[in-house]
């Protein structure tokens, strides 16, 4: 019997000449030991109400005091035994050691966000996002949160792209486009360290292009750390290929069964990072420093004395303008490859001026 039953019984008791019998019949169904703390107090209060009412209408009510006394005694005995137990517990605490406080659950703080995109193609400038996935990891690389989004890219998905990631035009036809999800994506990435496989040359530039295309502010990369497991794979796995599938097999010893699913790729990237850090005894600070150094060391084009030159490759140290005249085919090859937008723009401008 709960609060509603008692309240109902009290109400009926005040409206009928059988008020005491009705109320006692209801309350007697209670097993006092099974009552919750609140219900015991309510029964206790109900008995007091009965006493008061009984005094007011003693001439009209049947003599059921004996039944009422038994119920009252049972309730009060139960309450008193609980109070004595509480007092004994308090005395034990005072005489002995203070009670051990339960350790507060550690609040996990995000240390980095691993993310991946599935798109309509390989161009960071013109292709669109079809699927976004990301997970937040703490300093121990334990997952804190995840985000997975499927969206309509606003253009047709080429068959070649669908063959890779399995996402078809039919699957996304009724879905919202990137502008709907952009604020959620930016908020999830926050200002955390970003991680991904080929994230520097592909995922970040493509995401920035999408944001710009739809008039959103680009993600602020100034001072932000980035971990690119592709660069780490090239450093610690000397033999090609360095794809996500090959890296997962090499560092984790398992097959990538969810290849080219954004969330599957994110989880695989996180596993690769953890395996590298464990095997090479690296910290997050170490891998961030390595990625930063890789970016600085492999800058494809560098500007010296206001002149653009090749920073690496077979034409390292040679002026870009010189190669535009002597070997334009090489520059056209660069335009066909997945180089960063800035490199492609400089190369195209060099070719235009050389004509």
Residues 153 and 215 grouped into a single domain: yes
Residues 130 and 37 occupy one common structural domain: no
293 & 305 share domain: no
Residue 103 in domain: no
Query: Same domain, yes or no, for 293 and 310?
Result: no
Collect all residues with Cβ–Cβ distance below 8 Å to 251 and sequence separation of at least 6: 233, 236, 237, 271, 272, 275, 276, 279
User: Both 185 and 247 in a single domain?
Assistant: yes
Q: CA-to-CA distance for 209 and 215, rounded, in angstroms?
A: 10
Kindly state whether residue 101 falls inside one of the protein's structural domains.
no
Q: Is residue 104 part of a domain?
A: no
pLDDT confidence of residue 1: 44
The verdict on residue 105 lying in a domain is no
What does the pLDDT read at residue 73? 62
Which residue range forms the structural domain that includes residue 48?
A: 3-86
Scanning the chain, the segments in alpha helix (DSSP H) are: 3-15, 19-27, 37-56, 65-95, 159-165, 169-172, 178-189, 204-213, 229-236, 244-252, 262-279, 284-297, 320-326, 328-336, 341-354
Task: At 63, list the tokens.
Answer: 């003599």
- For residue 234, give Cα distances in angstroms to 190, 198, 240, 247, 251: 28, 11, 8, 9, 12
Residues β-bridged to residue 113: 136, 194
Domain count for the chain: 3
- Domain assignment present for 152: yes
Token pair listed for 210: 């999408």
Is 222 found in the same domain as 82? no
Same domain, 218 and 154: yes
Query: What does the alpha-carbon distance between residue 46 and residue 127 come to, in Å, rounded to a whole number?
Result: 73
Buried b (16+ CB within 10 A) or exposed e, 100-110: eeeeeeeeeeb
Whether 235 and 151 share a structural domain: yes
132, 281: one domain: yes
Q: What is the spatial distance between Cα 206 and Cα 281, in angstroms, rounded to a whole number?
A: 32
168 and 275 in a single domain? The answer is yes
CATH number of the CATH domain containing 212: 3.30.420.10
Q: 222 CB contacts (<8 Å, ≥6 apart)? A: none
Same domain, residue pair 145 and 292: yes
pLDDT (0 to 100) of residue 335: 84
The DSSP code for 203 is: I
Residue 94 covered by a domain: no
How confident is the prediction along the chain (355 residues), in pLDDT tens digits per residue? 444 555 555 555 545 444 454 455 555 554 444 445 545 555 566 666 655 555 554 444 444 556 556 655 655 565 556 556 666 656 655 555 555 666 666 667 889 999 999 999 999 989 999 999 999 999 999 999 999 999 999 999 999 999 999 999 999 999 999 999 999 999 999 999 999 999 988 999 999 999 999 999 999 988 889 999 998 898 888 787 889 999 999 999 999 988 889 999 999 999 999 999 999 999 998 888 877 766 654 467 877 777 888 876 678 789 999 999 999 998 988 888 766 677 888 899 999 998 8
Q: What is the pLDDT of residue 300?
A: 73
Last residue of a domain, one of 297, 314, 346: 297
Name the domain boundary from 297, 331, 346.
297
- The answer to whether residue 314 is domain-embedded is yes
Among 86, 121, 144, residue at a domain's last position? 86
Considering the domain architecture, whether residues 146 and 284 belong to the same structural domain is answered as yes
How much is the pLDDT for 7?
A: 55
Supply the pLDDT for residue 268: 96
pLDDT at residue 133, rounded to an integer: 98
pLDDT of residue 18: 45
Tokens encoding 351: 């070719």
Assess if residue 95 is contained within a domain. Answer: no
């Amino acid at each position: 019997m709960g609060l509603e039953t008692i309240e109902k019984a009290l109400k009926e008791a005040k409206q009928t000449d059988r008020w005491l019998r009705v109320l006692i019949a209801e309350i007697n169904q209670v097993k006092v030991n099974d009552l919750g703390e609140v219900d015991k107090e309510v029964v206790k209060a109900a008995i007091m109400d009965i006493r008061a009412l009984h005094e007011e209408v003693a001439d009209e009510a049947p003599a059921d005091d004996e039944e009422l006394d038994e119920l009252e005694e049972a309730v009060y005995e139960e309450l008193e035994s609980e109070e004595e137990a509480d007092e004994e517990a308090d005395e034990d605490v005072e005489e002995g050691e203070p009670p051990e406080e339960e350790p507060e659950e550690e609040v996990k703080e995000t240390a980095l966000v691993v993310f991946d995109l599935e798109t309509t193609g390989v161009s960071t400038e013109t292709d669109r996002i079809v699927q976004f996935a990301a997970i937040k990891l703490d300093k121990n690389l334990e997952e804190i949160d995840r985000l997975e989004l499927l969206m309509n890219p606003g253009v047709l998905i080429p068959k070649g792209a669908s063959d890779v990631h399995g996402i078809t035009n039919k699957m996304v036809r009724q879905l919202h486009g990137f502008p709907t999800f952009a604020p959620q994506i930016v908020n999830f990435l926050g200002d955390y360290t970003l991680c991904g496989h080929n994230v520097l040359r592909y995922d970040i530039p493509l995401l920035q292009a999408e944001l710009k295309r739809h008039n959103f502010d680009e993600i602020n990369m100034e001072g932000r750390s980035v971990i690119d497991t592709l660069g780490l794979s090239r450093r610690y796995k000397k033999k090609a290929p360095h794809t996500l599938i090959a890296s997962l097999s090499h560092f984790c010893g398992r097959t990538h069964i969810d290849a080219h699913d954004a969330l599957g790729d994110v989880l695989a990237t996180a596993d690769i990072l953890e395996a590298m850090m464990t095997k090479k005894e690296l910290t997050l600070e170490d891998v961030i420093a390595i990625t930063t150094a890789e970016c600085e060391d492999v800058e494809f084009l560098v500007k010296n004395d206001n002149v653009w030159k090749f920073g690496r490759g077979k034409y390292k140290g040679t002026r870009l303008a010189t190669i535009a005249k002597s070997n334009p085919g090489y520059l056209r090859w660069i335009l066909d490859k997945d180089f960063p937008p800035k490199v492609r723009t400089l190369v195209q401008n060099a070719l235009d001026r050389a004509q």
